[in-house]
Structures are given as structure tokens and as C-alpha cells.
Structure 1
Amino acid sequence: MAPSKTTPGDVLDGSILEAAHALRQRLVSVPELVSASLDRIAATAPLNAYVAVFAERALEVARAQQALLDAGYDLGPLQGIPIALKDNIDMAGERTTAGSAILRDNVAPADASLTAALKRAGAIIVGKNNMHEFAWGGTTINPHYGTAVNAWGERRTPSGSSGGSGIAVATRSVFASIGTDTGGSIRIPASVSGVSGIRPSIGRVSNAGVHPLAWTLDTSGPLAKSAEDCALVLRIIAGNDVRDLQTSTARVPDYLAELYRPLAGLRVGWIDDYSVSNVQPAVREAFKAALATYASLGATVLPIRIPDLDAVVDAVVVIDAAEPSAIHARWLRDRGGDYGADVRAQLEAGFAFSAVDYVQAQRYRAHLRQRFAEAFLEVDAILTPTLPYTAPRIGQGFVEIDGHDRDVLTTNMQFTSLASATGVPGLNVPIGFDHEDMPIGLQILTPELQEGRALRLGHQLQAVTGFHRRKPGAAA
């Protein structure tokens, strides 16, 4: 019996494994899939998710990958799959601007290590995603390349700094985008865009060829529709790299195989009071529903206490201010006028912190790592909301929570700073929508280098909830 008609757009809306199957069954060709990706990018252009699109180059590579498949050379499930990069990640021969005017003409001489890994796996990089300038901000309001717009609501922020990456995945213009995360820049855009996104442990993925924001906090990882797709991409880009001495020598496990293990016997903790305090009602209810779902799947869900969390945002802010200011000191002196006003102000503010402030912040990080190590003796994973609120409007400086106006810039790190400070992995998965149909995200934290456990928890939740399958109207 002949296979039913499958359009390239249908395949683009599915999972990576479904697309890989369609390519190998000749239900769609690689050039057709890449063309559908490019068409989707063009159709959603008003959202300003991309700063560069490599149409001609991507189609050329697509034809080459199809020839390889036709000749029996199977490179794995990412072969022929359209993927994007945040524009602070190098791709040889293309510009890496980091969302700035200063690097507008910066052509990468070589691939970032993660870019090279994607190419070896046969992935097709179709473009670079818009971002907050130098990744130093959470709005993706970019004075040089335009403001990015959340696909779920008119004039809603996609957050940042990987805002364009979240939009690209939400609109299904690519199967995944590689973002970077310092204080939450993968997980926060993933949350407000209704997609999945993982910040790996520090050292799990090489930062070689990635423009830095804060050396001791930076990581790179995928945003994708599902935990399963994140697992497939992370397996390719993770691993030790001689170009980055911070990378771990620990073996990279088969994340995909771990997804399907049952949750029976797994201990899942939520931080009593902290995980449900200072959050909007819709977020609290979605979070509680997620806890109930885990219990129904056989996990043991229990409250835990972790002391000394009050200073976590402050500590991350100090480090995430001082280190970028050190990186940008010469440019600030010589080219200060080329920065956007908000980023220049933040970089200048970083000089106000003393060496004592910085050392104390790093000492607190060491203390908090110990507290989390102790907590992970009690539980296998720790859950919080990813954000205490859903996507604000573009330019909105404050959000109302429990009758109080709270600053967006710092409140957005209320939960994400936990992984940033401790270096443990953090995964966002969608767990619902508020009354305005804006996505709500769950953050899953696991011990260092236990990304597979986080992905397993995310996948098992998605298998019974399906929130990750919803897409915004802009992608219809």
C-alpha cells in the first residue's frame, strides 16, 4: 500500500525522529524539508527571530545530504534536519555579531566546536537567531537588528537573551536552535515561547567559538519542541573538547535511551514555600498540576528545604555584571557609543562592584553548591516554575505578583539562578497556559552531569500532557 501523502510542512511540525523516518522512507526529501524551513522563516519574518538566513548555502548542503542518504550513508537522526544558531555562536565564513554593532563585520574564521559537531551529524544550519546585544539582557529588544516578538501574543516579549531561538522553535521554522544560558537565557525564552530548552551542566558542552558573557556562568544548549528533541541534539554537541579546558571528561550517555525508563521509585522534590511563593496564580496552579502528574506516573513527590536561597539572585547578578564588564572594558573605553543604551548602562554598572563583592558572590556559589549536593541526597530532582509569571508585554518593566509590582529584570531569575549559581543542569518544559493563552514552564533541576535524568522527567511528563505539541497562531 502506498504511503499517505506527507507535506514538508507537516514533517517540519513534527519531531526530529519523525522527520528522520520521513526522510529515510522517501516521504520527503532533504531539499524539500529545508525549503519548507526557509518558507516558514519568511512567513514569520515580522517576529524578527533571525538576523541572517543562509538560504543558498543551506539548500546546497541539503542536496549533498540527500545524495549521501541516497548512497546509503546514514549519519544519524540529525542528518538533513534544519537547525539554527544563536548569533553569538561561530559558523565558519558567516558573521557572528553577538547582536552588536561592534561585531557587525566579524566573520568567523572557523566553526564553534558545537557547530562542527552538528555539521558532522549532518544537521543543516539555516540561519542565525536574533538575541539581546552581547547576551546581556532578557528582552531581545535589539537596537541594531530589531526587536524580536513572541509568537504567542502581539507585543509580548520573547525574553532573552536567546529570544530569537525561542521564536524559531515555537514557529517550527527549525527543529532546534542552539542558545546560550548565563542567568537563564535558554530556559526563560523556552518558557515564554512554549518550547523545551536545557541548560547543561557547566562543562558539558564546549564554549569554544561562543562569544562569552560571563566566563564562570556561561553554557550552551538546545531549545527544541520536546525533551526528546533536546536529548537528540544535546547528545551530539556534548563532550570533552581540547579547545575548552573547562569541558568535562565524563562520558556522554545515550540521552535518548534514558528517556523511556519509568519514573517509579524516582524521588522528585519541590522546595517548600520557595517553589510556590511570589508567583502568579496561573503559574502556581500549573506547577501543582505538574507535581500531581508526576505522582500519578509513579514518582515520589515530596517537599524539601534548602536553606540560604535568599541571596541567589543577588550573587548571580554580581557575577553576571562584573565578568561582562571585564570582558568589555576596552570596547567600553574605545567604542562606548556603539553599544545600545541598556547594555552600555549595565556594563558600566559592573564596574561599581568591588573585588570583595565578586569574591563574596563566588563564595556564596560554593556554599549553595554544597546545599544542593545535600538536597540531592534526599531527592533525585528538584522542581520549580521556570518563571514566576508568563510573558510580559514588550517594554514592560514590572509585573504584578500577589498585589506587588516586581522588577522584570531580576524577578525573571528568581528560579533560573538556582542552576546558574550551582552549575547543575536545568530543563524547561511547557506545563500549561494562563487565561491569556500564554505558555507556562516547569524547571527540572538534577545533579551535575545528570542531564539525562532531567530529560527523562521532561519526556515522561510530555508523554501524558501534550502541552509541547501546541503551537502559536503565527506558525499555523
Structure 2
Amino acid sequence: MRSEPALMSLAAVARAILEKRLSAREVTQSCLDRIAQWQPHLNAFMAIEGEEALRAADAADAALAKGDRRGPLHGVPMAHKDMYYEAGKVVTCGSCIRRDFVATTTSTALQRLKDAGTIRLGSLQMAEFAYGPTGHNAHFGPVHNPFALDHITGGSSSGSGSAVAARLTFAALGSDTGGSIRMPAHFCGVTGLKTTVGRVSRAGAMPLSQSLDTVGPLARTAEDCAILLGLMAGPDPADPTAIAVPVPDYVAVSAEPMKGITIGVPGSFYVDDLDGEVAGILDATIATLRREGAQIVRVDLPDQRQLSGAAQLVLAVEAAAFHKRWLIERPQDYGPQVLMRLQNGLAISAITYLEAMRWRGPALAAHQTATADVDAVIAPVSPVPAPTIVESDVGGSPGAEAVIQRLTRFTRPINYLGLPSLAIPAGFTRKGLPVGLQLMGRSFDEATLLRIGGAFQRATDFHERLPQLP
């Protein structure tokens, strides 16, 4: 066991609390101590609720002493992206417009984790209204990467990626509409799961794009993601898009070996124009997967550029529709980049949007045909490691827009298709920047992705690397 409780995995710390080898107070205090050390450098938290968390930890310890176990994550402290409503709490959504918004309901995903026994540490920073891929925020400042403070975390789940990487929280909810879980996982060296549309209820989570939004975790390991998904997945009367399909034992599956798995490597697009170190890490990862028993084959996917473009159209229109009233009444309260993106969405015609929506079925069918003989497809999350905060600042760097477009080109296609994808830490550059790869799977088959991720992490230690304070 690591000497500092906050450095343990979610699975390990939950076992330690339930077996009374650690108290919930000890674990919570360990997280708060790290938050006090790291938050001034990272800007990862929107709100820190230390005293309330310690009281909840004491209550959890008292309950456990009486034999009252509230769930598999009894007494485990966590913080989540500040877009998940919790009744009585301010939920800013990273915005000025909702700076003082107090939720009257609790999101289903968050409630299911609370029902499993988790404790709230506070809330985590995010891109304004989840509409930004870098981690910049015009109102609250950028979130910093724990492995290199002058580099981005990725967005929009910027605080989630940063806080999990720095071991300030054992896991955190993010959201993925165009890559907002996978990019912070890649840039910050953590594991992130973009779920199938309909796998986890979106009730009580701030919407960005009604047909693309997904709820999912960022955590240290595939096993940790499996635990969280198992607790959150399933139908919900409050969200008719949450589908009643069977929920497997994700944790058990994540412990299975790789043998018998077939993984496809794209012949184009995802392997084009890669940074040299990213390309080398992809090759090394494929070699590791092969050694662990996976069969590696080439796959030729349909034109991913068309999928990416269609995803951008759908996102732009649906986001603009949600924000229409505020765009009319409070345009001055948006950051300039988010305002520009939302206004661009208003300019897209209904015909163009409907054509993009109508094409989703045929595009998914073509993808399923191309991947019929593989269990998953492996690809980089992004063609590059994390750029600096300055390089990707639209307001401060003339080349920032080109940098951002390159960052996000590999994540949007899977969002358009509604399929799951698991981002896993796969290596580090010579400068110490994390690099992640994504495993893209079949609809509602997160289990296979977690199985591959779990086997890879038992064979490597990239997910265990710790950032150091400056």
C-alpha cells in the first residue's frame, strides 16, 4: 500500500475503507492535503468543501462502525466536473451566466455514486459550458497540466483530468461530446471512458448537444472506470434516452486476459500526420498488446473526415439551440471564443443539420461493416502531446485555431457514431508529457474495451506515474 492514501487507486482505497485498514477521515484528509498543495498551481477546483467533506467522512466511519455499509464506495471522497447538478449546490457550468445558479435536483449519475457511499470534496473546473477542447476558461482562468504546468490539460473536462492526474480525487465525472473525456485523459495521463450514447443517464447534467452528449468517468485505471460505470449504467425514468440493455459485471471483465481479442489498426487518417513520439508510442503499444495475446490486424475505415465534419455541424446547431435565449439576452456574459462558436451554430441551416442527422444511420452501418472482424480499433486520441497554454490561446496566439483543430480531429468521429471509446495512458514524451491512446468499440460493448485496458495496464505502469510539484 502506498504511504499516502490519496495515491491509491479507487478500487484499492475502497477496499481499505471497507476492511477498516483506513478510515474515511484519513482518506479524505489525505486528499484535502494534496488539494492544498496542488490547487494553487493547477486551478483544477471550482469549489473546495473541506469541512463538509470531513464531517461526511466522520459520518461514514460512524456508520461503518455500526455495520451500516452504504455501498461499494463507502466513504470514498470524490469531486466532479461542475456541470452535474446537486440539489442545494452552486453549479457554475464554468460560466459567468450560471455563476450563482443553485441546483434544485441532483443528476442521476451523481446520485448513483452518492448512493454507493461517495463523499463530495467539491466541484471541478471545466471549459465554459463544456464548449472548449483545451482547458482555457475566459472567466476562471486555465486549468494547468500537473505533468507540465505551462501545458494544457485538454477540455472540456479540464479540472477532472488535472485533479485525477495529481491524485486530488480518486476519480471524477466528465462528459464527452466531441472528445471532452478522452482529451484530458490523453494530455494528463489518466484513464477516461467515453460511453455509448444511452449507456448512462444524462438527467441533471448540463446539456451541450442533445444527440452527442455522454456521461463517463476519468480515473486512474480501467478497473476504476469499470467500478464507476457499473454503478452508473442503466435505464432512468428521468432520461428516456438511457436504454434498458443488460449491465455486465464490468469489474470482472476488466480482470480478464487479452487472449482471444482482435484489435484493428486503421490504415489511414488516425495514423496520418502524427507527431513522431506519438507514432512511436502507438507502435510500442501495439507490440505490447500483441505480446499480451491480442491479434492485431489492419482495418480500413470509411472516410473519418466526413464523420468529423458532420459531428461538428450537429454539435454547433444543438449547442446554439440550447443557448439561443442567452445569446439574445446576455451575449456579453460569454467568453469571446464560446460566443463565436455558438453564433456560428446559429448560421447553419436546418437543411444542413437534418442532412447531417439523417446520415448517421448509414455512417454507423458502414463503420460496423468495416469493423465486423475486430473487437476494437486502436488509435491515438490526438496526433500530438499537449501544447502549451499560450500556443492554444485563441485570444493570445495567432496560430491557436490551427493548433486546436489538429488536437480534436481524432475524437469527433466516434461521438458522431455514438460508440464507446476508452482512453488509456500509453507512454510519455522525452519532455515528460503523457500520451494516451483510445480503444474504439462496438455499441454498448464498453466491457471489451475495459478488458483490453485492464490487461494493458497489468502489463505496463504508465497509469501509475506521478507528477511532481514544481
| Matched residue SS, 2:270 | helix
Q: Give the direction of change, closer, same or farther, for the CA distance of 1:54–1:75 in structure 2 (3 Å limit).
A: same
Picking from 134, 142, 145, the partner of 1:147 is 142
Aligned amino acid, residue 147 of structure 2: W
Aligned residues: 465
Match of residue 468 from structure 2: 473
Alignment of 1:30-429 (within 5 A): 30-46=24-40, 47-397=42-392, 407-429=402-424
Shift of 1:470: 0.1
Match of residue 396 from structure 2: none
Q: Give the direction of change, closer, same or farther, for the CA distance of 1:383–1:244 in structure 2 (3 Å limit).
A: same
CA distance in 2, matches of 1:405, 1:11: 39
**1:91, 1:110 within 8 Å by CA — same for their partners in 2?**
yes
CA distance in 2, matches of 1:197, 1:173: 16
TM norm structure 2: 0.96
CA distance in 2, matches of 1:18, 1:319: 41
Unaligned runs of 5+ in 1: 399-403
Is 1:12 equivalent to 2:10 in the alignment? no
| Matched residue SS, 1:407 | helix
What CA deviation, in whole Å up to 9, does each residue of 1:22-71 have, x standing for no partner? 22343321011111111211111121000111222211211111112111
What CA deviation, in whole Å up to 9, does each residue of 1:409-448 have, x standing for no partner? 2222222112201111011001001121100101001101
Shift of 1:321: 0.9
Shift of 1:237: 1.2
| Matched residue SS, 2:330 | helix
Shift of 1:376: 3.3
What CA deviation, in whole Å up to 9, does each residue of 1:80-125 have, x standing for no partner? 1111110111111111110011111110112111111011100112
Shift of 1:271: 0.9
Shift of 1:252: 1.2
CA distance in 2, matches of 1:140, 1:307: 31
Shift of 1:343: 0.6
Picking from 443, 446, 452, the partner of 2:441 is 446
CA distance in 2, matches of 1:457, 1:114: 25
Q: Give the direction of change, closer, same or farther, for the CA distance of 1:406–1:89 in structure 2 (3 Å limit).
A: closer
Aligned amino acid, residue 207 of structure 1: R
Aligned amino acid, residue 412 of structure 1: L
**2:379, 2:438 within 8 Å by CA — same for their partners in 1?**
yes
| Matched residue SS, 1:147 | coil
What CA deviation, in whole Å up to 9, does each residue of 1:175-222 have, x standing for no partner? 000011100000001110000000100011111000101100001110
Is 1:459 equivalent to 2:419 in the alignment? no
**1:90, 1:209 within 8 Å by CA — same for their partners in 2?**
yes
**1:321, 1:346 within 8 Å by CA — same for their partners in 2?**
yes
CA distance in 1, matches of 2:39, 2:358: 45
Shift of 1:270: 1.1
Runs of 4+ in 1 over 6 A off after TM superposition: none
Shift of 1:406: 8.2
Aligned amino acid, residue 197 of structure 1: G
Shift of 1:467: 0.3
Match of residue 401 from structure 1: none
Aligned amino acid, residue 78 of structure 2: I
| Matched residue SS, 2:377 | strand
CA distance in 1, matches of 2:268, 2:415: 21
- Across the aligned residues of Structure 1 and Structure 2, the Cα RMSD in angstroms comes to 1.8
**1:17, 1:77 within 8 Å by CA — same for their partners in 2?**
no
Aligned amino acid, residue 119 of structure 1: K
Picking from 15, 18, 21, the partner of 1:21 is 15
Unaligned runs of 5+ in 2: 394-398
Q: Percent identity?
A: 38
CA distance in 1, matches of 2:31, 2:13: 12
Shift of 1:166: 0.3
| Matched residue SS, 1:62 | helix
Aligned amino acid, residue 235 of structure 2: N
CA distance in 2, matches of 1:121, 1:91: 16
